Amino acid sequence: MSPPIILKTPAIPVGSTVLVTGVNGLIASHIADQLLLAGYNVRGTVRNLERCAWMTSFFANRYASAIVKFELVQVPDMSMPGCFDNAVHGCAGVIHTTSSVEMQATSPEPTISNNTKTVMTCLESAAKEPSMKRFVLTSSAWAVSSPQPDISFTVSPRDWNEQAIEDAYATGTPASNGMSIFMAGKTLAEKECWKFIQERRPSFVFNAVLPDTTFGSVLNPEHQGIPSTAGLVRMLFEGQGLDMLRWIQPQYFIDTIDCARLHVAALIHPGVKSERLLGHAEPWNWNDLLDIFRKRFPGRTFPEDMQLGRDISTVENEGSVKLLREVYGQERWTSLEESVSANVASFLDRDTS
């Protein structure tokens, strides 16, 4: 199990309650785990309590000797005004991970507007809660820029993915597709949050974490399966869905645990205020993963290498690296090989258990 935080004076006192929305997700479940490990109580929202009841017993067993509490609350429709009012009651912080925009979307509207609404409902509820000190939004690396293989450019937290917005709303053209709609949805939702902060000036501090593709361990494969982008690693490992995988451009990645820690650090570090933190560890393409597979499993046959470019962008992520060091004493990102190996172990262990 990971070591606790080394930060001496967190902005939110240890023992406080933090709300994590969509807590059963790939990243959110690790965020809850890291919060509990650091000594915080966690309240997690899910759409269906019965389906996610396993989390209560899982964390109770995992932290049986610790004085921390995990509880679930149901929020079936995140677009309803006030739907998070009860969930945020008494909380000192929120980490809002959920999104309703999907890459299968075929039209920018109402997809993008509905996604923004699901983000703003949580922000509105947090602004009404007197105990609230911090709010962290899970945005996306794609809210800054789209993957552009073999093109040299700088990725900065000051940038916005205006091209994705233009493409998404170019309805009736090939540019307006599920990927551009997803990117535009993430970009516009985060923009709306910053507008809210600037205009409403709530009493809490607001930060955003912008992770790129997330690989790594799954907290509980038995109940979660191999969800989200972790499932892409399994597809490649098993040689499934290769035509779809080729569609995903070379880009950066971040490990699941590093991503969770970056969220927690953004929540509790007193010096981090009104910041966008880039979650870019190192660049990858599918051939890099195939190389790792062949190295780790020399007796197994994997797909042939693909014709791919490389992400050669320069990322201004020094603030994120510094934050992990100051909160966790972590000197480097988890490497691609370490993360992919942990990802593979999650589904191999599940398959053999």
127: tokens are: 């602004």
Please report, rounded to a whole number, the percentage of residues in the chain having pLDDT higher than 90. Answer: 94
DSSP letter assigned to residue 45: E
Question: What pLDDT is attached to residue 101?
Answer: 80
In a domain, 199, yes or no: yes
CATH code of the domain in which 165 resides:
3.40.50.720
Q: Has residue 309 been placed in a domain?
A: no
Q: Which residues contact 158 (CB under 8 A, 6 or more apart)?
A: 276
Is the pLDDT reported for residue 353 higher than 70?
A: no
Cis preceding linkage at 157, omega within 30: no
Structural domain includes residue 204: yes
- For residue 34, tell me if it sits in a domain: yes
Pairing type for strands 205-211 and 154-155 reads unpaired
291 part of a folded domain: no
Residue 239 lies in a domain: no
Q: How far apart are CA 153 and CA 192, in angstroms?
A: 26
Q: Is residue 335 part of a domain?
A: no
Per-residue pLDDT band for 105 (boundaries 50, 70, 90) equals confident
Helical (H) or strand (E) element with 154: strand 154-155
Q: How far apart are CA 321 and CA 340, in angstroms?
A: 20
| Model pLDDT for residues 138-177, shown as the tens digit of each residue | 999 999 999 999 999 999 999 999 999 999 999 999 999 9
Structural domain count of the chain: 1
The average confidence (pLDDT) of the chain is: 96
DSSP letter string, 207-225: EEEEE-EEES--S-HHHH-
Q: What is the pLDDT of residues 293-302, one digit of tens each?
A: 999 999 999 9
Mean pLDDT of 21-31: 98
| Residue 199 main-chain phi, psi, to 5 deg | -85, -40
Question: What is the total residue count of the chain?
Answer: 353
210 belongs to a structural domain? yes
Q: Which domain holds residue 214?
A: 17-224+253-282+315-330
